[in-house]
Homo-oligomer: A and B are copies of this chain.
């Protein structure tokens, strides 16, 4: 093997990447401990830009915010549009602007957690940066990772973005109301999902019409209850 400057550069890149991911795992573990102590069920929502993360949060708040105390942490490169939308829908919300970073990391989330009395909430929704690749590599400390796919993105996405599809605990298929207008074959999509993540919990729904949203919120309520301390 060549050990010229190119080899050294590559070795250095790998070393730095390993350090970064190792540190992230450690901080994610600390976040998880805080969330467990507060009995705060936490989901990490990941998706392409525009698949409907914020819309799903709005629908979730609409259904649950009267009986469930919800905190939202929104990640975006820029703007606080999403935190505004979450607040308007009735949640406490904090916006993280990542600057150029293409994903949230455990450290950003850890700093955000320090700003809240976590015991006051039943559900924490972390809205990751819109990106189907990078967020999957960075654990945040959440209990469940959720991927939101959307019908107009096309049925080939599981095949082309396998790492994200592989690692998630549940899959939301949003914009089901657009099925008649786009060339999306549900059987092809589901075959890809099944190959990568057999039996993964799946919620087909439409944030626009509201159809299917109750199965999603029922599941959240069940998960919240399981973490509630015995009274």
Contact = CB atoms under 8 A, between A and B. Distances in A.
Contacts of A78: 159-162
B175 A102 contact: no
Interface in A128-177: 129-134, 137, 150, 152-154, 156-157, 159-163, 175, 177
Contacts of A137: 100
Interface string A64-91: 0000000000001111010000000000
Contacts of A132: 49, 130-131
Contacts of A157: 49-50
Nearest to A159: B79
**Interface size class for chain A?**
35 or more
Contacts of A154: 50
A19 interface: yes
A191 interface: no
A13 interface: yes
Contacts of A134: 102, 131, 133-134
A26 interface: no
Interface string A45-60: 0001110000000000
B50 A130 contact: no
A182 interface: yes
A13 B20 CA distance: 9
B161 A130 contact: yes
Given A48-B50, A49-B157, A79-B160, 6 more contacts: A16-B16, A49-B132, A49-B160, A81-B160, A129-B133, A152-B178
Interface of A: 9, 12-13, 16, 19-20, 23, 48-50, 76-79, 81, 100, 102, 129-134, 137, 150, 152-154, 156-157, 159-163, 175, 177-178, 181-183, 208
* Top-3 shortest CB links A-B: A50-B153, A102-B133, A152-B152
30 contacts: A16-B16, A48-B48, A48-B49, A48-B50, A49-B153, A49-B157, A50-B150, A50-B152, A50-B157, A76-B160, A77-B161, A78-B160, A79-B156, A79-B160, A81-B156, A81-B159, A100-B133, A100-B163, A102-B131, A131-B132, A131-B134, A133-B134, A134-B134, A152-B152, A152-B175, A177-B181, A178-B182, A181-B181, A182-B208, A183-B208
